[in-house]
Chains A and B, each alone.
Chain A
Amino acid sequence: MYKFTISGSPHVKSDESTKKIMYGVVFAMIPAMLVSIYFFGFQAIRVLVLASIACIFFEWIIQKYLIKGPSTINDGSALVTGILLAFNVPSNLPSWMIIVGALVAIGMAKMSFGGLGRNIFNPALVARVFLLISFPVQMTSWPKPTGFSKGLTDVITGPTPLGIVKEGLGAGKTMSELRTETPSYVQYLVGQTGGSIGEVSAIALLLGGFYMLWKKIITWHIPVSMLGTVIIFTAILWGANPEHYADPAFHLLTGGMLLGAIFMATDMVSSPMTHGGQLVYGFGIGVLTILIRVWGAYPEGVSFAILIMNAVVPLINQGFKPKRFGIKPGIEIKS
C-alpha cells in the first residue's frame, strides 16, 4: 500500500526561490564590482570582502545565539546587504568602521526587526547613514580613482563632483565655472570619478539593472519613476537658472543616484507592494533627493531620501491597492 500525500492545490511550484533572487542580485552587481576594483584597486577588494564576510558573520551569530532559529545565511540576503554596504562607502574607509557598519546593518536594521522580510529600512542604507553621521570625515574623503598603480597607502583624496558643486555654489561660483572642475560625462559613465566604490560607474550599474529587469527580480516602476522625477525636477530648476543649478544629466550620473535607483530603492523588503505604490515611492525619493541635494546641508541625498520613503511604505501599501478585477475605479460595489 502506498502512503500518499494530501495537500491543497497547487501541486506544482515554480522554480523561484529566495536564494535565486538574492544571488540574482549579487550577479547583477558584478559589473559594478569589477569597475570599482579596476578604479580603486586592492582597497575596493578589501572593502567588498570585509563587508560581505562581516554581514554574513553577524547574521549567522545573531540568528544562532539571539534569535535561536535555523541558519539563514544561505539565502544570500546577508551577502547582498554586505556588497551594498561596501558599494556605499569610500574605498579608504578603515576596516573597523566597515565592521561597525555591518553590525549596524545586520544587527540594528535587519535582525532587530525579526530578520529577513520584516525590516522597514534598507539595512545597507541604515548602516551608511549611521557611518556618515558618526564618522563624517572618513566617510566623505573620497580617494581619486587610481586603480592598482598606486600602493595601498598612498592615495589622493578629494571631494565628489556633487561636493565640488555644492561647495562651489555656496562660494558664489557659477555652474559653468564648476563644470570645468568636475569630470566629464564620459568619465561619469565609465566610473572615473571620486565616490563610494559602487556608485561611480553608470554603465556598470545600468547593466546590472537591465539584468535584474530581464530576470524579473525588479520591475521598471521604481527606477523609472525615481529617475524620471529627478530629470523633470532638475530640468525645471536648470531651465530657470542654468548658472545656479546643475543640469539633469549631472544629477543623474553623479553620486549614488543610479546605485540608489537600481539597487537600493528596489529592495523588495522595504519597497511598496503594488505598481501604483512603487510609482509614488519612486516619485517621493526623486523629489526628496533633489530637495536635499539642492537646498539641504549634505551634497548627497539619495540615501536619506530612500530611508524617509522606506518609513512611508506601510502607508503607501495601505493607500495603493492593486487594480482589482471586476471593480471599476471610483465605483463602490455594494456587497
Chain B
Amino acid sequence: MGILKTFALGGVHPKENKLSANAAIEVLDPPKQAFIPLGQNLGAPSKPVVARGEEVKTGQLLAEASGFISTPIHSPVSGKVFKIDNILNASGYKQLGIIINVEGDEWMEDIDRSEDIVTNIDYSSEEIIDKIKKAGLVGMGGATFPTYVKLMPPPGTKAEYLIINGVECEPYLTSDHRMMLEKGREIVVGTQLLMKALKVDKAIIGIENNKPDAISHLTELVKNAEGISVQALKVQYPQGGEKQLIKATVNREVPSGKLPISVGCVVQNVGTAFAVYEAVQKNKPLFERVVTVTGKDVKKPSNFLVRIGTPVQQLIDAAEGLPESTAKIINGGPMMGKAISSTEVPIVKGSSGILIMKEEEAHRKTESACIRCSKCTYVCPMGLEPFLLSRVSRVGKFDIAEKEMIMDCIECGSCQYTCPANIPLLDYLRLGKNKTGAIIRSRGKTA
C-alpha cells in the first residue's frame, strides 16, 4: 500500500477503543416525548411556525430558518405540540425548544419510505441546493454548519474538489463507520449529488486506515462512479478537521483565517452525504441520525438510528442501561465532545455519539509544573505553541495571544491530551480565544 497520506503538522494517536464497530445500526423507536431545541445549527436559531396544541406529522416543518446562516427544523415525530418552552440542551444551557407529545408515527405523504435506491439524478444544481436547504441539513460531523451555505461558494471562488469526510478520527465513535458499511450506496449517490450541486468533477472520500472494511467496500462501490475516489489515510488525530483533511487528501493548506473554499475544496461528512441523498432523492428532511452509544462499562455498545429530540436516557436504556460506575457522559467523542449534565438532554442534529466514562477515566489528573518538554508544540496540528498561549491567557495578556495566532486554534485537544504535566492547556486556550475574540470583535465595531 506504500506510505499512507496524512496531514503534515503535529497530531496524536489516542487509543481507538472502537467498541461498537461491529454493532450494526439499530432503529430506535420514537420517544414518548420529543424535545427539539430551536438552535440546532451554527448561526441563528430557527423560528417556530407551529403553535401549542397543533397536530404535526413526522417530517412536517416545525421551525423555519431565520437568517442566512440558519436552517429549518422538521418534526421528527408525529403527535401534538405540548408546548414551546425552555429546554436543557447539550451545551448545559436552557434554550427555547418545541416539546411534542408523540402519538403514533404518521409521516408526511411526500416522503419516499421505500428501500429502493434511487441513483438517477434528475435535478439541476440549484434544485439540489434548494432541496438541501429546505430539508434543514447541517454538517453531521458535529460542527452543525448549514450544508447549503457550503455549497454556494462566495463570488470569486470556485470549488475544485469535494472531499467526503469518512475519517472519524475521534476514538470510540463508530457511527460514520457503520454508515459507510451499511449505507455505502446511498453515500455514493449523495456524493454525486453534492458534486453536481458544486459543479465539481472530482470527489475524494477520505477514510482512515483503521477501517479497512469501509475502505474496500466503498472502493468497490465507486468503481462505476466517475470522478469519485477513495483515499486511505494513516490513522492520526485530528485528521477529521477540515483543514487537516484537505492537507492530507489534496495537499493544500487553507490559509490562516480563511475557509476551505479559498483553496477550492468543500468538505462534507459521510453522514451529510447520506442525508443529502435522503433529502434530494427521497424528499426526507433531516430528522433522524445515527448515534453511537459506547463506553468501557456499557453493556451493549451500539449504533442507533434515532429521531432528533430523543432524550439521551432512552438511548442509554437501549444500550442496556447506565453502568454503576458512570462519572461522566459525553455528547460526541472523547477528544472534542461536550460533557453533559443530565440524561434528559435531547439528541440534536449534531450529536454523533454518547460516550459514557467510568469513574477511573472521567477525572482530570493533578496539574504539575510545566517542564517545557514542548510536546504540545510538536503535536499541535496548527503549528501553534499551546504552552505559551495558555500561559498568556492565564495572566490575561491577550494582545500576545492574538499575535501568536490563538484564533487559529481548532480546539482539537491534542496538546492537553499529550501534556505530561496534566496542564489544562485547552481550557486556558478556550479562555484566551473567548477573550481575544471579544477584543477583536469590539475593535471591528469601533474601527
Q: Which residues of A come within 8 Å of B, CB atoms?
A: 2, 4-14, 16-18, 20-21, 72, 75, 77, 115-118, 219, 268-274, 321-328, 333, 335
Q: Are B413 and A10 in contact (CB under 8 A)?
A: yes
Please report B residues at the A interface, Cβ cutoff 8 Å: 8-9, 12, 14-15, 92, 171, 243, 247, 253-258, 322, 326-330, 332, 334-342, 355, 357, 361-365, 368-375, 377-378, 380-385, 387-388, 404-405, 408, 411, 413-414, 416-422, 424, 426-427, 430
Instruction: Identify the closest chain B residue to A21 (Cβ).
Output: B420
Residues of A contacting B369 in the complex (Cβ-Cβ under 8 angstroms): 18, 72, 115-118
The answer to whether residues A326 and B420 also contact, given A11-B328, A18-B368, A118-B369 and a CB cut-off of 8 A, is no
**Inter-chain contact A2/B326, CB cutoff 8 Å:** yes
A270 vs B329: C-alpha distance in the bound complex, in angstroms?
40
18 A-B pairs with CB atoms under 8 Å apart are A4-B339, A5-B328, A7-B328, A7-B339, A8-B339, A8-B424, A8-B426, A9-B411, A11-B357, A11-B362, A16-B420, A17-B422, A21-B420, A72-B369, A322-B380, A323-B383, A325-B9, A327-B256
Number of residue pairs spanning A and B whose beta carbons lie under 8 angstroms apart? 168
CB distance from B380 to the nearest CB of A (A): 7
Contacts of B413 in A (CB 8 A): 9-10
Say whether B418 contacts A4, CB under 8 Å.
Answer: no
For the residues of A in contact with B, the DSSP-based class is: loop
Q: Is the CB of A5 within 8 A of B363?
A: yes
Q: Is B420 a contact partner of A10 (Cβ separation < 8 A)? A: no
Bound together, the chains give a CA A17 to CA B375 distance in angstroms of 11
Closest to B262 in A: A326
In the complex, the chain A residue whose C-beta lies closest to that of B340 is: A4
A11–B258 alpha-carbon span in the complex (Å)? 29
Let me know if B361 and A12 touch, CB within 8 A.
yes
CB atoms of A10 and B92 under 8 A apart: no
Residues of the A chain whose Cβ atoms lie less than 8 Å from the Cβ of B92: 6
- CA A9 to CA B170, docked complex, whole Å: 12
Cβ contact within 8 Å between A12 and B335: yes
- A-side contacts of B14, CB under 8 Å: 12, 14
Cα-based distance from A18 to B414 in the complex (angstroms): 17
| Cross-chain contact A268 with B374 (CB below 8 angstroms) | yes
In the complex, the 9 A-B pairs of residues with the closest C-beta atoms, listed nearest first: A10-B413, A324-B383, A273-B374, A117-B369, A16-B420, A326-B256, A268-B373, A12-B334, A11-B334
| A6 & B339 in contact (Cβ 8 Å cutoff) | yes
Q: For A12, list chain B residues within 8 Å (CB).
A: 14-15, 171, 334-335, 361, 417
B253/A326 in contact, CB under 8 A: yes
Indicate which residue in A5, A10, A17, A21 contacts B336 across the interface (CB closer than 8 Å).
Answer: A10
**Measured between alpha carbons, how far is A323 from B377 in the docked complex, in Å?**
10
